[in-house]
Amino acid sequence: MNVFARYLAPPKFDDPEKTRQAYWLNRYLLAFISSMLLLLVILRPFTRFFGLERLVALFGLGLLLGTALVCVGLVYRGYLRLTAWLLSGTAFVVVTLLMIVFDGIRSSAVVGYFVIVAAVSLFIRGKAPLFFMALNVIALTLVYAAEHNGIIITRYNSLPTIDDLVILGVALVLHTLLLRQLIEGLSESVADAQCAVAALQVANEELKQSQASLKQLHQELEARVAERTAELQIANTQLQHEVAERKRTEEAMQQAQKRESMGLMASGIAHDFNNLLVAMLVQTNLAINQLPAEAPAREHIQKAVLATEQAAELTRQMLAYAGGGQLEIAPVNLNQVIENNVHLFRAAVAKNVTLHTDLAEDLPLIEADRSQLQQVIMNLILNGAEAIEAAAGHVWVITGREMVMSYDTHNWHWTGSELPEGEYVCLMVRDSGVGMTPEIRSRIFDPFFTTKEDGQGLGLASVLGIVRDHHGGIHVESEPGWGTMFRLLFPMSEHTETAVSPQEVNQPANASGKLILVIDDEKPVREAVVDIMDLHGVAVVTAVDGQDGIAVFNERKNEIQLVLLDMSMPGMNGIETLHKLRQINPEIPVILSSGYSQQQIAPEVMVNGRTGFLAKPYNVDSLVSKIWQYLPNDPPPDA
């Protein structure tokens, strides 16, 4: 075991530069060996390939693995250039052989040429990368010619075009030249830096010697002054710290109490309105669907639908401030959100306002709800544009990174939650407007507070709630005549962004004869669901609360195939009712419905795909789609 450990450890030589090169070459070889072993597991040549393909795959991977093991031993003996030449040459032969056997120049093995050139550029340098570049291009050309002459037969139905060869060749040449230039530039920079460091060290030693005598002369005087002032400084610092800490604590308590009371009020109002909006949206949609296309009343009902949807948007903003908005958290690229919607942002501001963007490169992803992030940016842009009273003005949207320390309390003054130290993604929206006085600035995040004649006072309040839901920070700077700047901080994501393909949900072929139980304490909601499902031939039984729902389910448990359950009810709430239903029938599908966020539901109840979630307020399409998703196709068992 000790011998094996020494074999894996980086070698050491008397020359520091040779030791450094040997270290990186050793690490590269170990990574290469691990990759080869992983390829053997992934490709499974004994089961996936047959005949010549299996033989070539086993030979190529085995040859590379064996060569890499030999090269590790050569590195320990100091033969670094020989190691690099041996590994690169062997890899070239294997890649070319794999390309001939597996699909020619369109084979994925072509990627190996780029890897070879990178290894040569790192460990051999000089003109070796150009040699391998020419060798690779010649090999690609010969394989291309062989494919066109029928010597190589691939699984594709067509022959490669000259465009394929040109693109691969140009890419390989550019890759080689740019990588070679980059590595040579870095090497020169390192050498220059080492020379500069050596010169600075000499100068620093001389400076230290000259300062030593001066420090010795002043040491006694400084010691006396320090001794007399130390106690006073310590006492003064402690006093200032205690005063500042007490002030911050008092302000944080006041803000927290204020946010809690306002949040409870907004949350309660939004929840009650959501129940009413469900009935309004559903009934107006049903009315439109039942009217002929030429009916004069359709236009008026459609206006009512639009007004109801606007009311639903207001309730979403109130829930966002209260911290109960609907969240679909995923890794999000902030720059991408801005770029994809910048045309909408520009169309939303007045013509006298110019919108500028300055987006940082390589910005990390953040864990966020994409739609809510878009809402935050839009609200801040509109707020800045409406603050511009001049004939022409500007709004800037800027992204970047920012390091947050424990003493940066201004970043969580408004959210009330201290941010952990570290690097954050920063979104800054700045305008050239009239600015704000301290009195107005202290109230901008209060719900329903606005300085606009037609404002609702929920835009910035929802911004604060969304930032708080995303565990971020917010800071505001504004002075009359100077304009306003909002700086938002979001924690970086540790994941990569993934795209989720939408799934189409179709109506079950045997929808008629199904029976659904609706448990909701709001009569308009129950009636709306009954009316909708009646149009689709699905029977519905209703219950006014949790206790009533359990009784109905017990009575008809062999007939009921789906339960639509409200989360907020007096007496037995939705979660308690769900547990009771699961005790009676663990397999019954249940759709939970609420105006609050799905994140507020305990994850243990959302299990095995038998529990869904439907956000209020919902319309006809979203309700029917969700019911078709969870309503079983199989007929109910006989009672």
Asked if 377 contacts 429 with a C-beta cutoff of 8 angstroms, the reply is: yes
Gap between the Cα atoms of 325 and 343, Å rounded:
26
Q: Which of 563, 507, 561, 562 is nearest to 536 (CA)?
A: 507
User: 515-630, which class in CATH?
Assistant: alpha beta
Return mean pLDDT, the chain: 78
* Three-state SS annotation for 541-556: EEECCHHHHHHHHHHC
- pLDDT, greater one: 400 or 88: 400
Concatenating the DSSP letter of every residue in 353-369 gives EEEEEEPPTTPPPEEEE
Q: 3-state class of 47 per DSSP?
A: helix
Predicted confidence band at 470 (pLDDT cuts at 50, 70, 90)?
confident
pLDDT in tens, 488-522: 999 999 876 554 444 444 555 456 678 999 999 88
Q: Which of 379, 373, 267, 371 is nearest to 319 (CA)?
A: 267
Strands 483-491, 473-479: pairing kind? antiparallel
Whether the predicted pLDDT of 392 surpasses 80: yes
Asked if 326 contacts 312 with a C-beta cutoff of 8 angstroms, the reply is: no
What totals of helices (H) and strands (E) does the chain contain, helices first?
17, 12
- Who's near 571: CB < 8 A, 6+ residues apart? 545, 546, 547
Asked if 539 contacts 586 with a C-beta cutoff of 8 angstroms, the reply is: no
Whether the predicted pLDDT of 611 surpasses 70: yes
Gap between the Cα atoms of 369 and 331, Å rounded:
8
Average pLDDT, stretch 82-92? Answer: 79
Predicted confidence band at 377 (pLDDT cuts at 50, 70, 90)?
very high
Is the backbone of residue 409 left (phi > 0), alpha (psi -120 to 50) or beta?
A: alpha
Beta partners for residue 478, in sequence order = 484
Q: What is the pLDDT of residue 391?
A: 78
Strands 562-566, 590-594: pairing kind? parallel
Gap between the Cα atoms of 16 and 111, Å rounded:
34
In the block, tokens 């107006």 appear at 284
- pLDDT, greater one: 306 or 485: 485
Q: Which of 349, 355, 365, 485 is nearest to 428 (CA)?
A: 485
Global confidence as pTM: 0.42
Q: Which of 576, 626, 525 is nearest to 273 (CA)?
A: 525
Q: What is the pLDDT of residue 192?
A: 74
Q: Which of 607, 600, 257 is nearest to 416 (CA)?
A: 257
Q: Calculate Rg over the CA atoms of the chain.
A: 35
- Who's near 379: CB < 8 A, 6+ residues apart? 459, 460, 462, 463
pLDDT in tens, 429-439: 999 998 998 88
Asked if 28 contacts 40 with a C-beta cutoff of 8 angstroms, the reply is: no
The CATH architecture to which 328-491 belongs is: 2-Layer Sandwich (3.30)
Gap between the Cα atoms of 595 and 617, Å rounded:
7
Q: Highest-confidence range of 144-148, 154-158, 161-165, 626-630, by mean pLDDT?
A: 626-630
Average pLDDT, stretch 323-349? Answer: 81
Whether the predicted pLDDT of 335 surpasses 90: yes
Where does 262-334 show beta strands of DSSP type E? 329-332
Q: What is the pLDDT of residue 233?
A: 84
Q: What is the pLDDT of residue 300?
A: 72
Asked if 367 contacts 331 with a C-beta cutoff of 8 angstroms, the reply is: yes
Reading the block at residue 637, the tokens are: 């068992």
Reading the block at residue 165, the tokens are: 């060869």
Gap between the Cα atoms of 267 and 308, Å rounded:
18
Whether the predicted pLDDT of 316 surpasses 70: no
pLDDT in tens, 119-129: 767 667 667 77
Whether the predicted pLDDT of 402 surpasses 90: yes
pLDDT in tens, 99-117: 777 777 777 777 777 777 6
Establish whether the linkage from the previous residue to 635 is cis, with ω within 30° of 0. Answer: no
Whether the predicted pLDDT of 21 surpasses 80: no
